[in-house]
Chains A and B, each alone.
Chain A
Amino acid sequence: MKAAIIVSPGSNCDRDVRVALEQNIESPPIMHWHRDPDLPKVDLIVIPGGFSYGDYLRAGAMAAHSPVIREVIDRAQKGVPVLGICNGFQILTECQLLPGTLMKNTGLKFICRDVDIRVETNTSIFTRNYTKGQKLKMPIAHNEGSYFADTKTLSRLTDNDLVALRYCSDDGEVDEAANPNGALLNIAAVLSAERNVLGMMPHPERCSDKQLGGEDGRTLFSGLANAIMHP
């Protein structure tokens, strides 16, 4: 199995994602510079977190027009799995591979802490090794994480089981008190209609080893590798 990690100026979770992937796949991931449109044939594309282009204009807006992104869109449309984490999620909404957008946190502050999230669906290659309703702890680190979409889009997401993760309380309840950033319906991660693209604000790569303080993210990478290698 081969994976590519898209690196933009300002990406800062690219190497963390590489380490998390290396725990689960044999060949080392390709670190692919965003200016290079010639993306090798891969089985998985990851757009990591960071501050691509210094968040100029809007978070993810500039990177969404990088030469390689056109190729990423093309591959995603052909069914190649694409995972966007944090800034990667913002880029995926800006290039319209995922619906909605990520707005400034309602508290107007950058939030960097562990949050509780609930797995809303395990019918995806990204979440299939979790159980539906399972509570996870993952770090978030963002200024623009407040998921917004119009009501029609929100209904489409919920009706089609495309909300992958929601922010929840310690006892697994999805309520306003457990919402760190004002995201509509406490949405922390969404899937594309074809379920091969996932955008998530929490950082699974930052909790994929005991030494990092948690392993809840490791399951995502191992499940994903397993789903790709043994479809």
Chain B
Amino acid sequence: MKARIHINLKIGVLDPQGKAIKQALEGLDFKGVNEVRIGKFIDLELLETDANAARKATEDMCKKLLANTVIENYEIDLEE
């Protein structure tokens, strides 16, 4: 089973990288970009075959290590 974890900054947390990229896009004449937020994703290959158990384990990993829940949200996509 595969898990893809999307990690993003929480709403309200300043994202200076996103801000700089927005300015760069404007500099390249790409108009109409209201906001840019940078995140990351982490791919896991799990031995677990049960989706519920896999989700629970991945959530645990996010809370303990993969995401910093002070500033980041995470979403988990599971794939057979």
A interface residues, Cβ below 8 angstroms from B: 57-58, 61, 65, 93-94, 99-101, 103-108, 148-150, 182
Specify which chain A residues have a CB less than 8 angstroms from the CB of B17 in the assembled complex.
104, 108
* Nearest CB on B from A121, distance (A): 23
A148 in contact with B16 given A57-B65, A57-B66 (CB within 8 Å): no
Q: Mark B55-75, 1 if CB is under 8 A from A, else 0.
A: 000000000111010110000
Of B64, B66, B71, chain A has the most CB atoms within 10 Å of the CB of B71
A-B interface pairs (CB < 8 A), number: 33
Specify which chain A residues have a CB less than 8 angstroms from the CB of B71 in the assembled complex.
101, 103, 148
Q: List 14 A-B contacts (CB under 8 A).
A: A57-B66, A61-B68, A65-B65, A93-B70, A101-B70, A101-B71, A103-B13, A103-B14, A103-B71, A106-B14, A108-B16, A149-B70, A150-B70, A182-B16
* Nearest CB on A from B74, distance (A): 13
- Interface of A, secondary structure class, is loop
Which one of B16, B20, B68 lies within 8 Å of A58 (CB-CB)? B68
Which one of B16, B64, B65 lies within 8 Å of A104 (CB-CB)? B16
Specify which chain A residues have a CB less than 8 angstroms from the CB of B68 in the assembled complex.
58, 61, 94, 101
Identify the closest chain A residue to B12 (Cβ). A150
Specify which chain B residues have a CB less than 8 angstroms from the CB of A105 in the assembled complex.
16
Of A94, A99, A103, A104, chain B has the most CB atoms within 10 Å of the CB of A103
Specify which chain B residues have a CB less than 8 angstroms from the CB of A108 in the assembled complex.
16-17, 20
CA distance A108 to B66 in the complex (A): 22
